[in-house]
């Protein structure tokens, strides 16, 4: 009898240990990380899963765009939102997005993302 009680406690202890390890592993799993950028009239988002979005929040008659850098790809990709006030364009680049910049599309002159708008 004495030995049987020890085995029962040991099994209970083992179950507790396995449960604690499972909680620890699940607790360290992180959700997809995101990067956001805002400027006057524009908001951009990029995710570690490649998801992106560009929102026009300015309602100032100027289109907006986002500049996204994708992991392992040189340069940046431009994603436009020319749909107007309160709209959002979205998609998936395919790889982790490492940088995001929200921009206003100034037709003639410099926009907040620097340089003349060559697009």
Where exactly are the structural domains of the chain? 1-30, 34-104
Query: 20: part of which helix (H) or strand (E)?
Result: helix 2-28
| pTM beyond 0.85, yes or no | no
Tens of pLDDT, residues 63-114: 999 999 999 999 999 999 999 999 999 999 999 999 999 999 877 767 778 6
Q: Let me know how long the chain is.
A: 119
pLDDT at 40: 87
Query: 5: part of which helix (H) or strand (E)?
Result: helix 2-28
The angle subtended at Cα 41 by Cα 35 and Cα 46, nearest 5°, is: 15
What would the two tokens of residue 14 be?
């083992």
Tens of pLDDT, residues 26-56: 343 344 688 999 998 999 999 999 999 999 9
pLDDT at 22: 43
32 vs 67: CA distance, rounded Å: 20
């Amino acid at each position: 009898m004495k030995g049987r009680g020890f085995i029962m406690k040991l099994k209970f202890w083992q179950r507790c240990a396995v449960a604690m390890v499972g909680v620890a592993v699940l607790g360290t799993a992180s959700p997809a990380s995101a990067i956001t950028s805002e400027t006057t009239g524009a908001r951009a988002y990029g995710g570690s899963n490649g998801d992106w979005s560009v929102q026009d929040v300015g309602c100032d008659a100027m289109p907006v765009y986002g500049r996204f850098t994708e992991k392992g790809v040189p340069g940046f990709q431009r994603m436009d939102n020319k749909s107007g006030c309160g709209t959002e364009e979205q998609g998936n680049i395919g790889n982790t997005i490492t940088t995001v910049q929200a921009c206003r599309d100034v037709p003639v002159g410099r926009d907040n993302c620097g340089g003349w708008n060559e697009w």
